[in-house]
């Protein structure tokens, strides 16, 4: 797998204290990962890194929009995302890293001989985590659903005598 160096932080040269890194994430970013259920990604990730002795406190701010299909009507819609995540990265002896990294989701470990923090996998995981479980068109200001009105009409008035009502409506529109 080829990784972009854009997501490597050479922390050895950083002074102790806070450092801010900004990343603009689009669909191309996800080519290196399991394909997510959304696309048209436009997300800004602000990473604040607090460098301390042998430990890094990372704070990820996620802010943007994605496009994904609505669970109710099936049409694509834009979903805003905003969320934040904290991660502690500890430097430990190299030979302990593999066993330690299975223990805790909020703490990651890197070996003392490392000089780079790779942040793209964390960014990927936090973006995926920030997507709500339910994907449904938001309501408008009057509290009405913004789902596809034809599908809503069909779902609201399922009449056993007219099972083809939706398709008749669709035909009328396309004609
Ligand atoms: Zn919908």
Read off the pLDDT of residues 31-84 as tens digits, 9 standing for 90 and up.
Answer: 989 999 999 999 999 999 999 999 999 999 999 999 999 999 999 999 999 999
Residues 69 and 103 in one domain: yes
Residues 114 and 163 in one domain: no
- Between the CA of 154 and the centroid of ligand 1 the distance, in Å, is 13
- Between the CA of 76 and the centroid of ligand 1 the distance, in Å, is 8
Indicate the number of domains in the chain: 2
Residues 125 and 165 in one domain: no
Residues 52 and 72 in one domain: yes
Residues 115 and 57 in one domain: yes
Averaged pLDDT, 153-170: 66
Residues 96 and 174 in one domain: no
- Between the CA of 71 and the centroid of ligand 1 the distance, in Å, is 7
Residue 155 has pLDDT above 90, yes or no: no
- Between the CA of 168 and the centroid of ligand 1 the distance, in Å, is 20
pLDDT of residue 137: 95
Q: How far is CA 134 from CA 43, 48, 121, in A?
A: 19, 29, 24
- Between the CA of 142 and the centroid of ligand 1 the distance, in Å, is 16
- Between the CA of 35 and the centroid of ligand 1 the distance, in Å, is 22
φ/ψ region of 160 (left if φ > 0, alpha if ψ in -120 to 50, else beta) reads alpha
pLDDT of residue 1: 45
- Between the CA of 135 and the centroid of ligand 1 the distance, in Å, is 8
Work out the percent of the chain whose per-residue pLDDT is above 90: 74
CA geometry: angle at 137 spanning 129 and 81, to 5°? 30
Averaged pLDDT, 116-128: 95
Residues 116 and 144 in one domain: no
Q: Tell me which of 27-31, 71-75, 155-159 is least confident.
A: 155-159
Residues 126 and 100 in one domain: yes
Q: How many CB atoms lie within 10 A of CB 41?
A: 20
Residues 54 and 105 in one domain: yes
Residues 63 and 77 in one domain: yes
Residues 13 and 97 in one domain: yes
Residues 128 and 153 in one domain: no
Mean residue pLDDT of the chain comes to 89
- Between the CA of 152 and the centroid of ligand 1 the distance, in Å, is 8
- Between the CA of 77 and the centroid of ligand 1 the distance, in Å, is 7
For 93, the domain range is: 5-138
């Amino acid at each position: 797998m080829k990784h972009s160096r854009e997501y490597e932080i050479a922390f050895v040269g950083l002074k102790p204290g806070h450092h801010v890194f900004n990343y603009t994430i689009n669909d191309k970013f996800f080519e290196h990962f399991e394909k997510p259920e959304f696309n048209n990604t436009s997300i800004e990730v602000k990473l604040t890194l607090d460098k301390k002795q042998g430990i890094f406190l990372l704070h990820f701010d996620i802010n943007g929009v994605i496009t994904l299909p609505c669970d109710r009507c099936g049409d694509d819609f834009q979903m805003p995302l905003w969320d934040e995540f904290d991660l502690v990265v500890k430097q430990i002896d190299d030979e302990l890293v593999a066993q330690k990294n299975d223990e805790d989701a909020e703490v990651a470990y890197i070996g003392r001989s490392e000089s780079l923090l790779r942040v793209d996998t964390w960014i990927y995981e936090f973006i995926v985590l920030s997507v709500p479980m339910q994907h449904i068109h938001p309501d408008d200001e009057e509290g009405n659903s913004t789902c596809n009105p034809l599908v809503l009409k069909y779902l609201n008035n399922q009449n056993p005598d007219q099972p083809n009502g939706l398709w008749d409506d669709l035909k009328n529109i396309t004609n």
